A and B are shown apart, each in its own frame.
Chain A
Amino acid sequence: MSNAPDRYERFVVPEGLQKISIEKDTKVTNAATFTLQREDHTVGNLIRMQLLRDPEVMFAGYKFPHPLEYHIFIKVQTMGKKPPREAFDDALTNLIGELTDIRDKFQSEADIKRQLD
């Protein structure tokens, strides 16, 4: 029991750790690895799939190394016009926009449903 990690460690970013850090690939041009603290498949797969929709992105992949290591890695390589950081930023912007749409649509559909009852 005593060596079990605290449950909250799964979602609380410890002090002194950055939520995201970027490390440029030393061997490949236009490539970088993003480390996201306290995230998992939920966000990892979502961002990866969105990055792959960008024609400027040559490669995008994510890795959740271990269930008890509460971080993910996202690797991005671009064609060169857009740095990986920008591609990542765009992916997030697009996803936030999409979620706003989903929220609005659900809300208005729910309002209609309620009026019918």
Chain B
Amino acid sequence: MLSNRRLPDLKIRDLRDDYCEFELSNTDVSMANALRRVMLVEVPTIAVDLVEIEQNTTVLNDEFIAHRLGLIPLVSTAVHHMKGPFDDIGEKDFTDVELSLHVLCTSDDTQDVTSNDFILDHQHPEVYPVGYSDSRMQSEDAERPILIVKMRKNQELKLKAIARKGIGKDHAKWIPVATVTFQHKPQISINRALMDTLDEKVKEAFVDASPSHALSYNSVTKQVEVTETEAYMYDGEYEKMAQELHHPDLITITQSDNEFIFRVEGTGVLSVEDVIITAVDVLTAKLRNLQQALPPPEQNEGEN
């Protein structure tokens, strides 16, 4: 019986490499929240997972540096044809990307060791730190690299960093996004008849009651208008003001329970489009997996 199936709607408002805003409707909070949770914590990316330190005479200790390396975002487009350490691994699958780093400070000035000092794995040159540019061909418009440690003369850092596929549930360094949020779409309705009984000054004050500026006063038509529904932040200020004016029915604000506005901010590790599509795939795969794992029906189940 498929009559209980929802037919969701989706509209993209803005889509860039590192930002996406879309509206999801005709579905339920449980679906919106599941998508949010999966995007945050179950979409796989690549991050440094194991560090072998050969030489470290810098001021930071080995663990400290290993931790910093883990947090460097690595471009993870290769993650889709990579296997994680907990998957079934075949002979042709690859799980490890080996980055190396060797810096010796020879100058009298302080020297920065950055993500640009990494030497990439020549088998997997598609895995590199976000904003990476080879230190020999530094250009003006290159992004500023990520600082790992600062050195003084004769200090040395030599290490091998192994990057692996992982998910945010394991460690936050694998989270593919900066933030994912969804909000219920607000529904604001003004009681016109009641509003008309108020005079101009009061109307203007009413509009300014909430700092969210969801409402505005039109001086030509002399009416209070809803201009920016989504700017409303459920601060309750309009309702409070209505209460104070002894007209609690002046305005009604509710949250829609089947329209959601999603905002996804990427980190550069994966494009947000990729994150969203992968999140849907991951969630689908989870449910498929559950369906397959469901034990077969018992023969006498009907008797119960």
Contacts and interface: CB of A to CB of B under 8 A. Distances in A.
Contacts of B33: 41-42, 45
A103 B297 contact: no
Contact of B34 (A19, A43, A105): A43
B2 A97 contact: yes
A92 B284 contact: no
B11 interface: yes
A102 B38 contact: no
B62 interface: no
Interface string B1-25: 1101111111110010000001010
Contact of A50 (B4, B7, B286, B288): B4
B37 A92 contact: no
A106 B10 CA distance: 6
Given A42-B34, A92-B287, A99-B283, A110 B294 contact: no
A5 to B, nearest CB: 12
A95 interface: yes
A115 to B, nearest CB: 12
Contact of B170 (A7, A95, A97, A100): A7
B5 A19 contact: no
B107 interface: no
Contacts of B123: none
B15 A113 contact: yes
A114 B288 CA distance: 31
A90 B295 contact: no
Contacts of A96: 284, 287-288, 291
B86 A8 contact: yes
B290 interface: yes
Contacts of B24: 102
Interface stretch (B184-192, B202-210, B272-280): B272-280
B18 to A, nearest CB: 14
Given A92-B287, A113-B15, A8 B170 contact: yes
Interface residues of B, number: 50
A98 B304 contact: no
Contact of B27 (A7, A19, A22, A98): A98
Nearest to A49: B30
Contact of A41 (B12, B37, B302): B37
B167 interface: yes
A46 B36 CA distance: 12
B10 A102 contact: yes
Given A49-B30, A83-B302, A20 B293 contact: yes
A92 B283 CA distance: 11
Interface in A49-108: 49-50, 53-55, 83, 85-86, 88-103, 105-107
Interface string A23-34: 010000110000
Contact of B291 (A10, A93, A98, A102): A93
A3 interface: no
A7 B171 contact: yes
B56 to A, nearest CB: 23
A90 B170 CA distance: 31
B280 A103 contact: yes
B28 interface: yes
Most chain B CB inside 10 Å of its own CB: which residue of A12, A45, A88, A95 = A95
A36 B304 contact: no
Contact of A21 (B280, B286, B295): B295
Nearest to B301: A83
A98 B31 contact: yes
Contacts of B37: 41-42
> When A and B form their complex, which 5 residue pairs have the shortest distance between CB atoms, in order from nearest?
A19-B293, A49-B30, A105-B10, A94-B5, A109-B12
